[in-house]
Amino acid sequence: MNLHALLRRRTESGRPVRVALIGAGKFGSMFLAQVPSIAGLEVAVIADLDPDRAREACRNVGWDEARIAGTRFVADGLEACRADDVEVVIEATGHPEAVIRHALAAIEAGRHIVMVNVEADVLAGPLLAERARERGVVYSMAYGDQPALVSEMVDWARAAGFIVAAAGKGTKYLPAYHQVTPDDVWTHYGLTPEQARAGGMNPQMFNSFLDGTKSAIEMAAIANACDLDVPEEGLRFPPCGVDDLAQVLRPKSVGGQLDRDGMVEVVSSLERDGRPVFRDLRWGVYVVLKAPNDYAAACFRQYGLPVDSTGRYAAMYKPFHLIGLELSISVLSAALRGEPTGSTRAWRGDAVAVAKRDLKVGEMLDGEGGYTVYGRLAPALRSKAARMLPIGLAHGVRLTRDVAAGAVVTEDDVALDPERLAVRVRREMVGRFGQG
């Protein structure tokens, strides 16, 4: 609760927290919008493939020309990672291979690294976090995004002595969404393609939110950061409003829908027939607590928590998340406290590629939110045993044999280049952390 006070003391000592931002897209722009109102936080370098576009992004979020002139704009993310006057690197690009390259460079240079790209974290996070610890720097999830917010809630619950029964987020989900492609994604958002283009919205990115891929990635990240289990057959997306979280997200043995305590799950804001769920959690995050004793269970009711029929399970939730507008919390926590806002600790969950339709030998996979595959959550050891293809490696790779619709794509179904950085790092991670 004293993060702002710590920053004020740093500012008074003449040592502002200086940051490099890689990627000036939506998430990065939201962060940049807040920077002028946070005294003592400075962006020294912005790296983007199009530096002029990055300058324009700064203007669009309200930066004055003096602030823009005092910031270095570069095209090379590695240059930003190695800048002498930078304390924290924010990796906010969309390509997992580039993200891994930048993360390794920042760690080697002794910079704290905040990972906006959750896909890269799920692909190789345990290894990257280990490298950061060895170098004495912070490897952190991005506060404002759901995985970091859920990790904070889980940490609070455990530190307060509660058992975590379930943790996760809400989303808009129907089973048919797994087959949606970028061609028809906007109908599900109530937009025309022209409106989406005018808003600068990427159809493949937004489709990954809809087709279940982003949910799989984020729940894998939460499981890996919080030592939680993942469902054997993937997320169930039960329809559930905030008043029913404790009733639905408890073990089957007591009438809920989970296999056991200590699991991740995503709740849908839609009933299976398309009707809206009452008091849905579409934009929020939650944790379901289990009382360790009768006294704590009685207190749940006394203090108004929504509880299940037994009174032993209760839910806490946050109805919204503000994405990049909250990202400074991660930056300041790393620089001033030496602590991450959530960080991968183990390999518990994986996000693997599943065929959206019958795929034929010779076809090229187009990755997250595309036309060919979507991401499904899987237990890490099961993924390893079956050589499932992580969604983070399912872009720009060619099929070497047919894959039926609904089947998991394996590494044996594609031609992976063993010399690619992402492939090498992933295989090293699986070898080191996939031991059971």
pLDDT digits (tens, 9 = 90+) for 41-59: 999 999 999 999 999 999 9
> Looking at residue 202, what is its pLDDT?
87
Cα torsion at 147, 148, 152, 155 (round to 10°)?
70
**Residues 303-332: tens digit of each pLDDT:** 999 999 999 999 999 999 999 999 999 999
Residue 197, pLDDT > 90, answer no
Residue 35, pLDDT > 80, answer yes
Return the residue matching tokens 């946050």.
Answer: 318
* Total Cβ atoms within 10 A of residue 277: 20
Of the options 3.40.50.720, 3.30.70.640, 1.10.730.10, 3.30.1490.20, the CATH number for the domain spanning 3-144+324-337: 3.40.50.720
List b or e across 288-316, with b for residues whose CB sees 16 or more CB atoms inside 10 angstroms: bbbbeeeebbeebeeeebbbbeeebbbbb
**Residues 62-94: tens digit of each pLDDT:** 999 999 999 999 999 999 999 999 999 999 998
What residue segments make up the domains of the chain, in order of their start? Answer: 3-144+324-337, 147-173+212-321, 349-433
Give the fold, CATH level 3, of 349-433.
Type Iii Antifreeze Protein Isoform Hplc 12 (3.90.1210)
Least confident of 176-185, 191-200, 243-252: 191-200
> Looking at residue 100, what is its pLDDT?
97
Which among 262, 337, 373 is positioned nearest to 17, based on CA atoms? Answer: 337
> Looking at residue 416, what is its pLDDT?
96
Distances (CA, A) of 329 to 90, 122, 164, 204: 12, 22, 24, 29
Q: What is the mean pLDDT of the chain?
A: 96
Confidence of residue 1 (pLDDT cuts 50, 70, 90): confident
Residue 369 CA to residue 353 CA, distance in Å, equals 11
Residue 218, pLDDT > 70, answer yes
Residue 31, pLDDT > 90, answer yes
Report yes or no: 116 and 92 within 8 Å, Cβ to Cβ.
yes
Report yes or no: 164 and 288 within 8 Å, Cβ to Cβ.
yes
Distances (CA, A) of 381 to 53, 120, 246, 326: 42, 18, 29, 34
pTM of the shown model: 0.96
Percent of the chain with pLDDT over 90: 95
**Residues 91-128: tens digit of each pLDDT:** 999 889 999 999 999 999 999 999 999 999 999 999 99
Residue 216 CA to residue 370 CA, distance in Å, equals 15
**Residues 145-172: tens digit of each pLDDT:** 999 999 999 999 999 999 999 999 999 9
> Looking at residue 42, what is its pLDDT?
97
| 9, two tokens | 């003391």
**Mean pLDDT on 178-182:** 95
> Looking at residue 434, what is its pLDDT?
82
What is the Cα 283 distance to its own chain's centre?
A: 14
Residue 35 CA to residue 47 CA, distance in Å, equals 16
